[in-house]
Amino acid sequence: ETGVTQTPRHLVMGMTNKKSLKCEQHLGHNAMYWYKQSAKKPLELMFVYNFKEQTENNSVPSRFSPECPNSSHLFLHLHTLQPEDSALYLCASSSTSGYYNEQFFGPGTRLTVL
């Protein structure tokens, strides 16, 4: 595997379910990100992890719970979601050691909440 991978690619869940999204990066990066992409809205940064430490939480509801056990893996735990949480969830990674650090994105998980 190369780059940034995300599983599952598609997920349908009820409002009472608990599920997790997984992201893995094979690029040796130390920073990882969760974004939410909804139709007709700008890309929303949700969480940032740098060297496994959460450095950003952009007022995300507590029904989204991130976990970063190491610099290569990032999870997003979901529970009691709402239909408006249906979106494409994108994971990204980057290095932070240089000055110009582009982010590399995974293919996303398409989440539908019924």
Partner 1 sequence: GNSVTQMEGPVTLSEEAFLTINCTYTATGYPSLFWYVQYPGEGLQLLLKATKADDKGSNKGFEATYRKETTSFHLEKGSVQVSDSAVYFCALSHSNTGNQFYFGTGTSLTVIP
* Interface with partner 1 (CB under 8 A): 4, 6, 41-43, 45, 48, 50, 55-56, 90, 92, 94, 96, 99-108
As measured in angstroms, the least distance from the Cβ of 81 to partner 1 is 21
- Cβ closest to partner 1, residue 87 vs residue 94: 94
Cα 114 from Cα 101, distance rounded (Å):
37
Residue 111 CB, nearest approach to partner 1 (Å)? 14
Q: What does the block give as tokens for 30?
A: 């130390």
- 17 or 50: whose CB is closer to partner 1? 50
- Nearest alpha carbon to residue 8 among 74, 99, 107: 107
* 100 HSE (CA, 13 A, CB side): 0
Tell the smallest beta-carbon distance from residue 31 to partner 1 (Å).
8
CB of 29 to partner 1, least distance (A): 12
Report the residue count for the chain.
Answer: 114
* Angle made by CA atoms 40, 42, 48, in degrees to the nearest 5: 140
Nearer to partner 1, 12 or 79 (CB): 12
Which amino acid would we find at residue 99? Answer: Y
